[in-house]
Each structure stands twice: as C-alpha cells, then as structure tokens.
A and B are shown apart, each in its own frame.
Chain A
C-alpha cells in the first residue's frame, strides 16, 4: 500500500460565505506519509479546510495541489482520497463487506479481486470475518473501523479524517488513537486529521496545525508547539497553561507585577506580552540556594486530587492565579501546605515562556 502517496500543498486558500470569512489565506504543505492534525476550537475553519481538500467545497481564492497537480477544481470522486467522517457515514443498506467494497465497485475493478481485498482491509482494522454483518449490528468502535477500512481499501494518496473518534467513549478513544498511530506507520499513507482535542492531536501527529478564526496560527511538531508557542492563543490551547500579563524589561527579563523573571529564551518585542506557565513546569521550592531560578510566592487556594496527580492552585499577592501539578506521591503531600498557607514555587529560566498576546 501507499504507492501513490504524494505531498499535499494548500496555497493561500480562502473561503468566504458572504461577509463571513471561514478560511483566511491559509498556506500549508504536508509531506508524503506525514500525519498532520488540524486543531482548533469550533468555527476555526478546520472543517472548511478539510472540505476544500476533499473537494466538497471550492475555495474563494487560492489553490490546492496534490504532488505536482493542481486539483482545486477537481470533483471529489476524481481526487482519490479516503475520507472518514465524524459519524462514519456507513451506507445503512449495505453489509460491512459491501460498504468496504464500494470504492472497488465505483472504480470498476474486476469483481474477482474484491473478496481478497475486502478481507485484507477488514483484517487490517481487526474485523476479519465481519463481511456479512449488517451495519446496524456494529458497535461505535466497529463502525469506526469499517469506515477506516473503506477509506483505505483503494490505497488512496491521502486519508482525511474529520473528528473520527469524537463519538467514542474515552477509553475506546484512547486505544483507537494508539491503533491509528500504528496503522499510519504500517501503511505509510498521508493523513490529515481534524480534531478539537489537543491531547489527541499531540498523541498521534507528526505535526499539528493550530487554526483560529479561519487563520493558520502555527504548525509545528507537538513538542515544539508545547514548548515554543507562537502566541498566547497557542499557549492556552496546548497543554495546561496559566497566562499572566508581563512587561518587558530587557532582552533577558520581564516584570510580573513587582517581581522580575529571567528567561533564557528570546523575549519578543512589543508591549502586549504574556507569561505562559505550564502547570507541570512549576516545582515546589526545595530551599536549595539556586539563584538562577525564578521564584514566585503565593497562598494556596485549593488542592484538587485528580488520581495520578494533584493540581494545586495558588494566588500571588496581587491576586493573580496560578496552578501547578504534582504527582500524587507521599513526598508531595508532605510539602504542600494546607489551604491558606504560603507556598514558594520555582520556574526554570529555560521554561519561562514569554509570548506575544494574541489578538482577541
């Protein structure tokens, strides 16, 4: 499989519905065999972008290229891409086998080849022997797998997935994420995956594209996105960050209220800056005399037990709220004061992320 895999390129694509701008000048290229997620809140344009790739909607301006070819005006059935829809879109009047064989029939492939191909595709998604079942008899997870088998059987150059796991319960969703990841490695297809779940995007993708109000804000590897957000929107969307307004002092330090924080990273120019504090980067001050660390002291306002970890909320003297995470370990319990008690936390200059404030 995967012989026809090609790169995908979106060049300055925009989509307007009257006065509403659903997609605003998005340029994005996806390498062959890459797994890219489109992540954003609802209304960010990610489904519009998927519709453009699938050929279900036409861009107002801009173009779309598969490999060398401009496919902007090509109808969906000529694009040779597999689409997995949010609610699976399985054909209710066909059996599992007929559903999976649909792309073969549509392409007028010799009928003698169908059974072997269908068997192979179903085996790939762990549903060997389900050919005769009716769609109505399947569970949500099984329908998801059938939709996947149907989208893969014709060895498409690109597979699009529109929040395919959103209808599944948490446990099944997480196991399907891992399965999809492994499947992607095995078949080596290019996959573009739409989701609003940041953890899902980080788990599965080679790169994640963050969209907001129809614009592409940042596209990067998950770790880059997490540690080097382009602005405060990305920082708030990825991971669990508190955003605090800060003032630039010089190229290596900012002021957070009366306190001065040093950062080992380049501090962007401009007046509207935010400090993005990921809750896992804050550590409880162990009293060691390390002058290089930034220190913040506040009052504990709440301690929330969340199974494998504890989330501790503190308020700085000026009322600014922060949170940090500690593994629920005996050692941590010992060091957290009761609610109302003082707590000093440290933030390493390498983890002191200063981002420009995103436009509202």
Chain B
C-alpha cells in the first residue's frame, strides 16, 4: 500500500495535466487556425515561389516606391495618433470630470459614429471635403478663399477622416483610466498648494499615462493597416502600405510580393514596440497601484 502511493499521486498529477490540456485545447485550436496558420502561410508565400526565393524582399529594399510607402505610412500613423491624442484627451477628461449624466452623453456622442460603417463615413468626408463640397462652398461664400482648396484626394483628407474614424479607440481607454483616478487626489493636490495646472501636470497627467499608452498603441497600430480611408480619400496619391498590398494582389496578381510587404510591416511594428519598451518604463506606468 505504502509503495503505491507515489505512483498514485503521479498518475493523478498526469491526469490533471491532461485534463487542463483538454480544457484549453479549443482555445489553442482557434489561435492555431485563425492566427498561426494564416500568418505562417503568409510568410511562406513570401519566400516560396517555385522554390525558395528572397526576390520579394530584395524588391522591397531596393525599389524606391516601397520605401516611400512605408515611410509615408509611418508618418501618417504618427500624425493621426498625435492628433487623435490631442483631440481625444480633452474629450475623455471632460467625460471623466462632469456629472454622470453628462459623461454618458459625451461617450455616446463619441461612440455613435461606430454605428455607421467605415465606408459610409469615408464617403461622407468625401462629400464634405471635395472641391464642390460643403466646406469649400462655405469658405467661398464667406470670401475667405477664391479657388476651392484641395482638401481631399491627398494626405490631408486621409488624415482628417482617419482621425475621425479612430478617435473612439483613443477616447475609450483614456476615459477608462481617468475615471479610476480618485477624486480626492486632486483635492489633496489643491489643498497642499498646487494650482489647478500644477495639480494637473503633476498628478492627473502622470496617472492617466496608462490610458495614453493604450490609446496611442491602438490608434497607431490600427492606422498602420488602414485601407478604405486612404483608398477613397487619398485619391491614389497617398499610397499607404495597405494599398501596396492590395495593388500587388489585384493589379499584378503578385501574392508573394503582397505577403512580403505584410511580413515587413508586421516585423517593423514588433521592432518599434521593442524599442519603445526599452526607453519607456512600461512596467512602471502600467504597474502602478
């Protein structure tokens, strides 16, 4: 009896491990099927075409159009992220300090555009910003301008529409973080002699950084792969990486080249986050209690 006990407990342990694996397997299967396989297949496409080849990657790093497009994509994403932060922070701040009823209203206004499709919103911006659009006509009516401004079919139009569409992804994480900052910290700051601006810069802003980090990351990453808005509002001149991918597939039937672009974009995002993670103390910002 005594010598069989360790054997029993070992068998029990193994059974438990098997059970855990069985329970986790549906989730693992979903990840495998929906993420690992497609990305793996993508990567495989980019290096195998009638035998191994690095031709696709050589093209990316040697042809100017690719470099320009990548550079433009990162510039636009950065600009959109900064603009979304500048617009989103005051909105989230207002929502977090006003009485409950008002904050619900503010958040509802932020989320409302979500109920219309991205495509519809992009066309709406087109209608607003085109040469004969509302904005140009109004400015001409006021006499501010004589000739219609080129507000669309360029980078400007792309940025405006993208900021609008991605703004909720900035506001919501910001609001979630801000409304968790205890109100008496602000009162304490004021009572200890901090002017409203001093209290904001020294207390509120640092405590809202986790939300800033979450919001900017979301917006930046979503913007890198944004397709419909640059396609419709960029007018063919603002060639972002997503357009490069679709053209490679649709115009030239170059699946390998398209895959290579996707892989390079994915890797560059990972590299950026590794670098950012080294310089910004993420654990300190996210781990504060």
| B186 CB, min distance to chain A CBs, angstroms | 9
- From known contacts A87-B184, A106-B198, infer whether A93 and B206 are also in contact, taking CB-CB under 8 Å: yes
Please tell me if B3 contacts chain A, counting CB pairs below 8 Å: no
Interface residues of chain B: helix, strand, loop or mixed (majority): helix
Report chain A residues within 8 Å CB of B202: 91, 102, 105-106
Q: Are B192 and A54 in contact (CB under 8 A)?
A: no
Task: Give 5 nearest A-B pairs by CB, closest first.
Answer: A89-B188, A76-B190, A83-B191, A106-B193, A106-B194
Closest Cβ of chain A to B195, distance in Å, is 5
Contact B195 A89 (CB under 8 A): no
| Contacting residues, chain B, for A35 (C-beta < 8 A) | none
Does B117 sit at the interface, judged by CB under 8 A?
no
Q: Which residue of B has the minimal Cβ distance to A86?
A: B184
Contacts of A55 in B (CB 8 A): 190-191
B182 interface contact, C-beta 8 A: yes
Q: List 9 A-B contacts (CB under 8 A).
A: A54-B187, A56-B187, A79-B191, A85-B184, A87-B184, A92-B207, A93-B288, A105-B198, A136-B289
Interface size class of B (residues with CB under 8 A): 20 to 34
Q: Mark B266-289, 1 if CB is under 8 A from A, else 0.
A: 000000000000000000000011
Q: Are B192 and A102 in contact (CB under 8 A)?
A: yes
Whether B192 lies near A150 (C-beta < 8 A) is yes
- Assess whether B189 is interfacial by the CB under 8 Å rule: yes
B182 to chain A, nearest CB (A): 7
Report the minimum CB–CB distance from A206 to chain B (whole Å).
Answer: 23
Bound-complex Cα distance A86 to B190 (A): 16
> Which residue of B191, B199, B203 is within 8 Å of A54 (Cβ)?
B191
Q: A83-B188, A91-B203 are in contact. Are A107 and B288 (CB under 8 A)?
A: no
Query: How distant is B223 from chain A, measured CB to nearest CB, in Å?
Result: 29
Contact for B187 among A83, A93, A106, CB less than 8 A: A83
Say if the beta carbon of B38 comes within 8 Å of chain A. Answer: no
Q: CA A2 – CA B139 in complex, angstroms?
A: 64
Asked if A154 is an interface residue, CB under 8 A from chain B, the answer is yes
With A85-B184, A102-B189, A151-B192 given, is the CB distance from A93 to B198 under 8 Å? no
Query: How far apart sit A314 and B259, CA to CA, in the bound complex (Å)?
Result: 91
Query: Within 8 Å of chain A (Cβ to Cβ): is B185?
Result: yes
Q: Is A80 an interface residue (CB 8 A)?
A: yes
Interface string of A78-115 (1 = CB under 8 A from B): 01111101110101110000000011011100000000
A103 to B202, CA, bound (A): 12
Residue of B nearest to A105 (CB): B202
CB A122 to nearest CB in B, in angstroms, measures 16
| Residue B196 is within 8 A (CB to CB) of chain A in the complex | yes
Interface size class of A (residues with CB under 8 A): 20 to 34
Is there an interface contact between B194 and A77, defined as CB atoms closer than 8 Å? yes
The listed residue (A75, A93, A106) touching B207 by CB distance below 8 A is A93
Known: A85-B184, A89-B187, A91-B185. A154 touches B192 (CB 8 A): yes
Per-residue A-contact encoding for B200-220, CB less than 8 Å = 1, 0 else: 001100110000000000000
| Alpha-carbon distance A82/B192, docked complex (angstroms) | 6
Interface, chain A (partner B; CB < 8 A) = 54-56, 75-77, 79-83, 85-87, 89, 91-93, 102-103, 105-107, 136, 150-151, 154, 160
Q: Count chain B CB atoms within 10 A of each CB in A75, A77, A87, A160 and give the residue with the most.
A: A77
Please measure, in the bound complex, the distance between the C-alpha atom of A120 and the C-alpha atom of B203, giving whole angstroms: 24
Q: Are A77 and B190 interface neighbours, CB within 8 A?
A: yes
Give, as a whole number of angstroms, the nearest-CB distance from A152 to chain B.
Answer: 11
Whether A77 and B185, one on each chain, are in contact in the complex, defined by CB atoms closer than 8 angstroms, is no
Interface flags for B107-151 (1: CB within 8 Å of A; 0: not) read: 000000000000000000000000000000000000000000000
B187, closest chain A residue (CB): A56
Known: A89-B184, A89-B185, A136-B289. A76 touches B203 (CB 8 A): no
B187 touches A103 (CB 8 A): no
**Distance, CA A224 to CA B199, complexed state (A):** 43
| Best-surrounded residue of A85, A87, A151 (most CB of chain B within 10 A) | A85
B153-188 CB mask vs A (1 if < 8 Å, else 0) is 000000000000000000000000000001011011
B188 lies within 8 A of A85 (CB): yes
Task: Let me know if B289 and A107 touch, CB within 8 A.
Answer: no
In the assembled complex, the Cα of A107 lies from the Cα of B191 at a distance in Å of: 12
- Residues of chain A lying within 8 A (CB to CB) of residue B289: 92, 136
Distance in angstroms between the alpha carbons of A55 and B193 in the assembled complex: 12
- The closest CB in chain B to the CB of A103 belongs to B192
A151 to B185 alpha-carbon distance, docked (Å): 13
Q: Which of B184, B195, B206, B288 interacts with A77 by CB under 8 Å?
A: B195
Shortest CB-to-CB span from A226 to chain B, Å, is 33
Contacting pair B193 A107 (CB below 8 A): yes
Greatest chain B CB density within 10 A among A56, A75, A81 is at A56
Q: Shortest beta-carbon distance, A53 to chain B, in Å?
A: 10
